[in-house]
Amino acid sequence: MYICSFQTQVLPLFTYHFTIMKKILSILFVFGVAMNASAQDIPTADAIIDKYLAAIGGKDAIAKIEDLTIATSAETQRGSMESEIKVKKPNKFSSVMYMMGNEVMRATSDGTKVETVSGFGGNTNNRVAEGKDAIAQILQNVPFPELLYAEYSVEKTVVGKEAVNGKDAWKIDFAIPDGRKWSEFFDVESGLKVKRMASMEGMRGGAGGQRQGGQPGGAAQGTGQGDNQRPGGGQRGGMGMGGGMMNVVFGNYKEIKDGNGVKIPYTREQGNGQFSSKAEVQSVKINKGIKESNFVIK
């Protein structure tokens, strides 16, 4: 009687629970496989950056560029703006910005410090940045900052996909340790960098060398990817803006003459809701033997 009762009551109950457990385990397995597959679909930040560098010509071709001079022009609410930047490998630069023919900003880096002189109408400000502030400005102004990320311990985090101009792009958050933060977007298909975004929180008026735009640091027009100029003359910091986002969209990538296939964006559109501008590269020169005297901080 006891054995019969066990068989008719306990065994069916055991079989029922066993079946339920199998279903639960199957669901968990499928969910785990799906989650793992989804995670594998997201490339690492280094993989995205490597694809970008390959898309603009490759590390070997970029390594052959010892120095670079880029001239740009833009139309703003206050008139025409021109700039010229000279860059010497790996982290020296000298840039000048002109507004309606008048010099309004000059920045110089010897690879360690960055001196910025800005002013308009006889009012001149001078500032020298060091440490993480200088690193931020160097990364702003060199043409291929990705090659310096390891040296400066730049932190990189893949956020996911977002649409830029109707196309999917990988968003990466960047941060200089204890320093500036910014985000960049890389087209999923082509690998090209298509957008940069950063907060303008904490800008101060009057101080040269203060970061004024879409990437960390920066004091001048940049190299076709810089974005820190305040259209209308001088630094945006001169307006004392304390917040908002600066968006910069890169486009029209072209090979530079005698650049072994290396490309840079020839157009850059930027804005923060209060103003906007579109800068275009007018000329590019490489490996002309730029003198060290261009990068001396007095």
Beta bridge mates, 96: 84, 106
DSSP string computed for 72-100 = EEEEETTEEEEEEEEEETTTEEEEEEEET
Over its C-alpha atoms, the chain yields an Rg (Å, rounded) of 26
Cβ burial, residue 128 (10 Å; 0-12/13-18/19+):
middle
pLDDT along the chain (298 residues), means of 10: 49 53 57 48 95 97 96 85 95 94 93 91 84 93 95 96 96 94 96 89 38 38 44 34 72 95 94 80 96 93
Assigned CATH topology for domain 45-295 = outer membrane lipoprotein receptor (LolB), chain A (2.50.20)
Q: Give me the count of residues in the chain.
A: 298
The one-letter amino acid code at 75 reads E
The pLDDT of residue 21 is: 59
Tell me which residue has tokens 């291929």: 144
The DSSP 8-state label assigned to residue 128 in this structure reads: E
Question: CA nearest 115: which of 105, 103, 127, 132?
Answer: 127
Question: CA nearest 176: which of 204, 218, 208, 209?
Answer: 218
Tell me which residue has tokens 């203060």: 210
Name residues whose C-beta falls within 8 Å of residue 154's C-beta, 6 or more positions apart in sequence: 139, 148, 174, 175, 176
Residue 246 in tokens: 């600066």
The pLDDT of residue 238 is: 35
The DSSP 8-state label assigned to residue 256 in this structure reads: P
Name residues whose C-beta falls within 8 Å of residue 90's C-beta, 6 or more positions apart in sequence: 111, 142, 147, 148
Judge whether 247 and 197 are in contact, CB under 8 Å.
Answer: yes
